[in-house]
Amino acid sequence: MSELEKLRVVIGYEFLKHIRRKRLYVILGLALVAELAVIIFVPLLREAGGYPDNIMVMAFFLTVGPSLASLGAVFFAGDAIAGEFESKTGFILFTNPVKRTTLWLGKYIACSIAVTLLIMFSYIITAITLLAIYTEIPFEMYQSFGLALLFGGAFLSVVFFVSSVAKGAMGATVMTLLLVMVLFGIIESILMFTDNPSWFLLSTGGDSIAAVYGEYSVILGEFMPEGRELPFEMETMNIGLAAMAMVVYMVVGLVTSIFISNRRQLA
């Protein structure tokens, strides 16, 4: 059996594991609830009432589902590598005639497929909602979809990297969330308020999913009382640089995780 055929078997087996796990359906449910919350509460909370006249505003808020789906990557990949060493299942896997590189790559692709399905699910809801309210789908939604897929792939690579050095699956999951959502988020906020670029942070890549719909000042202005403005100015994000940074995270994170995992010992 060639390595390509072995890779196909690994992908199929790992993807089947994701389908059987409850976490997939939990994230699907959370994404659905998030989208429904936007659909229900946006017209209720607006001072003018009803849905915004600007379709970009509604599309902006509906990206909460895709963003949540992208972050679901951490729950799929947290135990992808660390779990094999923690549970000692590697003693069985590594004795099979399958290269470790093929095994890790198959796991990554299977996780990517699962995350892609989550993101597609959220965007289908977004598309149906926009069609129902505005009878059209803006081109920016397709850009947002592409960025969400890119962010999901980059996030997966970071999770794989952390999983390759972590001692346990839970530690890998928590460490990744703290790194990207907390540490990167704090640094991004500091850079933003000091008028410095933050495109190189992965958390900024996540923000780019919604940034394609327009400037934050315009979007959030829809919810400001008449005559009032935002208390601060928000610099327009460089989406192109953010996308390039996500590609770097995706490639470097995956390659580094495979390199480390191939040299890691079970005992």
Most confidently modeled range among 53-67, 118-132, 184-198: 118-132
Alpha carbon separation from 65 to 39, 55, 56, 106, 126 (Å, rounded): 11, 17, 16, 27, 8
Query: Beta-carbon neighbour count of residue 122 at 10 Å?
Result: 28
Q: What pLDDT is recorded for position 91? A: 42
Collect all residues with Cβ–Cβ distance below 8 Å to 96 and sequence separation of at least 6: none
Residue type, 27: I
Average pLDDT, the chain: 80
Q: What pLDDT is recorded for position 90? A: 46
For 48, the token pair is 């003018």
Q: What pLDDT is recorded for position 81? A: 56
CB 121 within 8 A of CB 28: yes
Q: CA 81, CA 76: separation in Å to the nearest integer?
A: 11
DSSP category for residue 136 = -
Give me the mean pLDDT over the 81-93 stretch. 51
Give me the mean pLDDT over the 242-261 stretch. 92
Whether pLDDT at 23 is above 80: no
Residue 15 belongs to what domain range? 3-263
For 92, the token pair is 């069985």
Whether pLDDT at 38 is above 50: yes
The predicted-structure confidence for 88-144, as pLDDT tens digits, reads as follows 454 445 455 667 788 888 889 988 998 898 899 999 999 999 999 999 999 999 999
Q: What pLDDT is recorded for position 238? A: 86
Q: CA 91, CA 4: separation in Å to the nearest integer?
A: 23
Q: Give 253 or 92, the one with higher predicted confidence.
A: 253
Q: CA 80, CA 90: separation in Å to the nearest integer?
A: 11
Query: Which pTM does this prediction carry?
Result: 0.86
Percent of the chain whose pLDDT exceeds 90: 23
Q: What pLDDT is recorded for position 182? A: 85
Q: Give the DSSP H/E element, type plus range, for residue 186.
A: helix 184-193
Q: pLDDT class for 36, splitting at 50, 70, 90?
A: very high
The predicted-structure confidence for 197-245, as pLDDT tens digits, reads as follows 889 999 889 889 988 987 766 666 666 555 555 545 556 678 999 999 9
Most confidently modeled range among 8-12, 113-117, 175-179, 234-238: 113-117
Q: What pLDDT is recorded for position 144? A: 93
Q: What angle is formed at CA 48 by the lines to CA 43 and CA 49, rounded to 5 degrees?
A: 25
Domains held by the chain: number = 1
